[in-house]
C-alpha cells in the first residue's frame, strides 16, 4: 500500500519567522495528523531548524530542496545531506527542474545527490520532467524514461519507501498549466515500469510517484485519481495554509 504524499516545495519563499507562523497556523487547523496520507514541507535551508522545532511530534514531515553531491569537505556554500538529516528531516528533493535549468545540473549529478541523501538516511525525491517542445514532439515519455534512468544510475534504495520520484513537466511549473490527469497517469505508469526494470516489479509497486506542476485544490482530486499517481509536489499552493491543508484533505479522502 502506497501512502499518498503531499509535499510542499516552498522554493525561495518565507523568512524563518514567517515559517514559524505558518507551521503554527497549519498545525492548529490540521489538528492531529490523520492516518492515510503524509504531509511534508520542504523549505529553504535556514528554515529547516524552525521546521524541526515546530513540527516535532506533529506527524508532519519536513525536508530540504537540495543537498550536496559531496558528503563533507571544502565546498563553500554547499549543504551536506548529513547536516539536513541531523535536524530530523525525512526528505531531500534532488534534480528539481529549476536546478537543472538555472544551475545546469546534469542527471549524473542528480544521481550523486540521491546517493548522498540515501547514505545520510534521507528519502530522495528525484524530480524528472520534459520541456514543452519535447512534449509537442510527442517524445515526453521516452525523454523522461531516459532522464530517470540517468538520475538513478547507481542509486540503490534499500526499501521502496526510501525513494520517491516526482514527475514535474517543466511547462506546468508555476504557469497555471497542468498536465491532464491522463498524461500524468501515463507518465507515472512509465516511471513505474522504469523502477520495475531497475529494482524489480515488487519493489516498484511500493515506490511513490508524485505529480507536480500547478497543483491547486481545484485540480488535485482529478490528478490523484490516476492509480499510479501517489501524491503531489506542490509549489505555489503550498505557501498558503488553507490551500495546502485542502490538498492534504484531498489526499486523505482518496
Ligand atoms: P507550482 O506548484 O508552483 O507549479 O510548482 C511546482 C513545483 O515546482 C514543485 O516542486
**Model confidence pLDDT, tens digit, residues 184-235:** 999 999 999 999 999 999 999 999 999 999 999 999 999 999 999 999 999 9
Read off the DSSP letter of residue 2.
Answer: P
Least Cα distance to 171 among 216, 136, 199, 205 occurs for: 136
pLDDT of residue 198: 98
CA–centroid distance, 12 to ligand 1, in Å, is 12
pLDDT of residue 84: 98
3 state SS of 216: coil
What stretches in the chain show pLDDT beneath 50?
none
pLDDT of residue 165: 99
Mutate which of 6, 214, 216, 218 to test ligand 1's pocket (most atoms within 8 Å of Cβ)? 214
Retrieve residue 247's grid coordinates: 490538498
Q: Any bridge partners for residue 7, and if so which?
A: 40, 233
CA distance 12 to 1: 33
pLDDT of residue 177: 87
| C-alpha dist (Å) from residue 19 to 83, 131, 166, 212 | 20, 32, 24, 22
Domains of the chain: 5-252 (3.20.20.70)
pLDDT of residue 153: 98
pLDDT of residue 1: 85
pLDDT of residue 104: 98
| C-alpha dist (Å) from residue 172 to 97, 125, 211, 212, 223 | 11, 18, 10, 8, 13
Give yes or no for residue 214 CB within 6 A of ligand 1: yes
Amino acid at each position: 500500500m502506497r501512502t499518498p504524499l503531499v509535499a510542499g516545495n516552498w522554493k525561495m519563499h518565507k523568512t524563518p519567522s514567517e515559517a514559524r507562523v505558518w507551521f503554527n497556523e497549519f498545525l492548529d487547523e490540521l489538528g492531529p495528523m490523520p492516518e492515510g496520507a503524509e504531509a511534508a514541507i520542504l523549505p529553504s535551508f535556514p528554515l529547516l531548524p524552525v521546521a524541526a522545532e515546530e513540527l516535532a511530534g506533529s506527524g508532519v514531515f519536513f525536508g530540504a530542496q537540495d543537498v550536496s553531491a559531496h558528503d563533507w569537505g571544502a565546498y563553500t556554500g554547499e549543504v551536506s545531506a548529513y547536516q539536513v538529516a541531523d535536524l530530523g528531516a525525512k526528505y531531500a528533493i534532488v534534480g528539481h527542474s529549476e536546478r537543472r535549468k538555472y544551475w545546469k545540473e546534469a542527471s549524473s549529478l542528480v544521481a550523486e545527490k540521491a546517493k548522498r541523501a540515501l547514505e545520510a538516511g534521507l528519502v530522495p525525491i528525484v524530480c524528472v520532467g520534459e520541456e514543452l517542445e519535447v512534449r509537442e514532439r510527442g517524445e515526453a515519455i521516452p525523454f523522461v524514461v531516459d532522464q530517470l534512468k540517468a538520475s538513478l544510475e547507481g542509486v540503490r534504495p534499500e526499501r521502496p519507501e526510501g525513494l520517491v520520484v516526482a514527475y514535474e513537466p517543466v511547462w506546468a511549473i508555476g504557469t497555471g498549466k497542468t498536465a491532464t490527469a491522463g498524461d500524468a497517469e501515463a507518465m507515472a505508469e512509465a516511471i513505474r515500469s522504469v523502477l520495475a526494470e531497475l529494482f524489480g516489479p515488487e519493489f516498484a509497486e511500493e515506490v511513490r510517484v508524485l505529480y507536480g506542476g500547478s497543483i491547486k485544490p481545484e485540480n488535485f482530486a482529478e490528478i490523484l485519481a490516476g492509480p499510479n499517481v501517489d501524491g503531489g509536489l506542490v509549489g505555489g499552493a503550498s505557501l498558503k495554509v488553507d490551500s495546502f491543508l485542502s490538498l492534504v484533505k484531498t489526499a486523505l479522502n482518496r
